[in-house]
Amino acid sequence: MSRPNILFVMFDQLAALSLPAYGHRLVKTPHLDALAARGTLFENAYCAAPLCSPSRFGMLSGLLPSRFGVFDNASELPSSLPTFLHVLRQGGYRTCLSGKMDFTGADQLHGYEERLTTDLSPSDLGWTPDWDHASAVQPWYHTLQSVAEAGSCDYSLALQYDEDAVFKARQWLHQHAGAKDGRPFMLTLSVMHPHDPYQALRRFWDLYDHDAIDMPQVAPQDDPAGRRMYQLYDRGEIPLSPEQIRRARHAYYGMISYCDDLLGRLIETLETLDQRDNTIVIVTSDHGDMLGERGMWYKMTFFDRAIRVPLVFAGPGIQQGARIAPAVSHLDLMSTFADFAGIGLDGLQQDGRSLLPALVGKGHSAGEVAAEYMGEGYEQPAVMLRRGARKFTYAPDDGVTLYDLAADPQELQNLAGDPAHAAEVAAFTADVHARWNFAGLRDAVLASQRRRRLVHDALVKGRLAPWDFEPRQEAASTYYRNWGVDLPDPDAALRLPRRV
């Protein structure tokens, strides 16, 4: 495959199971549907961790996040750890980020050559969990206020941020697509929608008949995951009415349609620049949203609504109209991008494998994916394996679950207690203990949390030196100026159609 441009579009908290391309009957996403029709859709794609930063950092590196000390949303991605941006840049790509990537610490690029916006989330260590006092409620924890106040809106912080990120991404494409330096581009757009708070721009709210909004199909279950999430963000402090739940789901669907509109704007820009047929467009999200199913919201569990993500590729060399059923992982993207760039990863440990054979129609072996969670709400590491149609989860405090997703897609029948599956459960249990050292990991998580809490408490005292990324704008060379000699006409460089 020749080196194509890459447009990588990442939404936040977008559940695959809420998309029409994955079977949802109400949500409206015409641009994503059209992209899937002319490309390849992975039906069972998973993130590496059902939490923003660990998921993103696993995706960028191709490694389970605990391998390099990332446990939660206040963990640092090590600057010395290669990401797929380093690989693409080494392979001759111009790499640029517009929007959020939840980087913590002083390195706010991690292989990106350019960054067009600041992040929406803080780059400091303030969101470090405290497993030493796991039952304590931290001030930054989710509550159900986002659900209780859901509805339509005319403006919001997330809308302001995402509009800025998309505008700057489109502006960058006009400035750099088709550059004469011979470098293809890899542009990442990463936005906040449809992450809570559930506030849909009014014109996207109005796309849906409120009375037709579907309600959760699965009632609250008395299981360890549900009890943990209840203690984390519910606790009965904000009771929800059926109407509030319906409004939250309505808003979420409207926010998804807004996301689809953003995708459409980017594809329109590629078409205007005559770059669509030379660009692979990839759409995914960092994790899903339970959206009231099982009485649960947000992410932080291994149920498919929280951990399954959309993953669609379309562009030159990608087979059209394909749907790949075997499970794949965000961890596979590092090797896939290395193949796009023609760069070998010999000597670099990887937990994923290239998706390129599946993308070009040369087959794909039955998949196995692994995921983990070590953030707030727990006191021990929790892990997941999906192998074929089986999903297995294990946490030292919670025991095990085993689901047959082919027969039980809503994950209601835990087979782990059935003697007929005892040998299978024993094999999975031995497997996870061979892969993860649970006692050692818990010690590492606790040590990391203690260090980071101390550092954060110190750095917010006295003179502040924030790590938050500050975009640079070279105003002296952006528009018409009167300095220098033989200045090119800035309008001629951007005008479409080109001036003859």
* Per-residue model confidence as pLDDT tens digits over 2-15: 789 999 999 999 99
First vs last C-alpha separation in the chain: 33
Task: Using CB atoms within 10 Å of the CB of residue 79, give its burial: 0 to 12 exposed, 13 to 18 middle, 19+ buried.
Answer: exposed
Homologous superfamily of 5-369 in CATH?
Answer: Alkaline Phosphatase, subunit A (3.40.720.10)
Structure tokens at 257: 């349609």
DSSP state of 301: S
Quick check: bond before 197 cis, omega within 30? Answer: yes
Residue 340 near residue 87 (C-beta atoms within 8 A): no
* β 382-387/368-373 pair status: antiparallel
Q: What are the b/e assignments for 61-77, b being 16+ CB within 10 Å?
A: bbbbbbebbbbbbbbbb
* β 151-153/114-115 pair status: unpaired
Residue with tokens 């030493």: 132
pLDDT attached to residue 494? 77
Quick check: bond before 497 cis, omega within 30? Answer: yes
Beta-strand ranges (E) seen in 315-448 are 322-324, 328-329, 368-373, 382-387, 390-395, 399-404
Number of CB atoms found within 10 A of residue 6's CB: 23
Task: Using CB atoms within 10 Å of the CB of residue 390, give its burial: 0 to 12 exposed, 13 to 18 middle, 19+ buried.
Answer: middle
Structure tokens at 329: 């992982």
Q: How many residues does the chain have?
A: 500
Tell me the β-bridge partners of 382: 373
pLDDT attached to residue 382? 98
Rg (CA), the chain: 23
pLDDT attached to residue 475? 83
**pTM for this model (two decimals):** 0.96
pLDDT attached to residue 477? 74
Tell me the β-bridge partners of 329: 46
The letter for the amino acid at 108 is Q
* β 322-324/185-190 pair status: unpaired
Residue 404, classed as helix, strand or coil, is strand
Residue 47 near residue 307 (C-beta atoms within 8 A): yes
Structure tokens at 407: 């027969």
Which distant-in-sequence residues (6+ apart) come within 8 Å of 213 by Cβ?
A: 26, 246, 249, 250, 253
- The list of the chain residues with pLDDT below 50 reads none
Calculate what percentage of the chain has a pLDDT beyond 70.
Answer: 98
pLDDT attached to residue 7? 98
Number of CB atoms found within 10 A of residue 103's CB: 25
Residue 485 near residue 475 (C-beta atoms within 8 A): no
Which distant-in-sequence residues (6+ apart) come within 8 Å of 27 by Cβ?
A: 18, 19, 20, 253, 256, 257
d(CA 368, CA 432): 13
d(CA 162, CA 159): 5
* β 328-329/45-46 pair status: parallel
Q: How far is CA 469 from CA 80, 123, 176, 441, in A?
A: 19, 8, 22, 31
pLDDT attached to residue 478? 78
Nearest in space to 176 (alpha carbons), one of 494, 497, 495: 494
Residue 127 near residue 140 (C-beta atoms within 8 A): yes
Structure tokens at 214: 């579907």
d(CA 128, CA 123): 12
Each residue's pLDDT tens digit, 309-359: 999 999 999 999 999 999 999 999 999 999 999 989 988 999 999 999 999
Q: Give, in degrees to the nearest 5, the angle at Cα 310 between 304 and 312.
A: 150
Quick check: bond before 139 cis, omega within 30? Answer: no
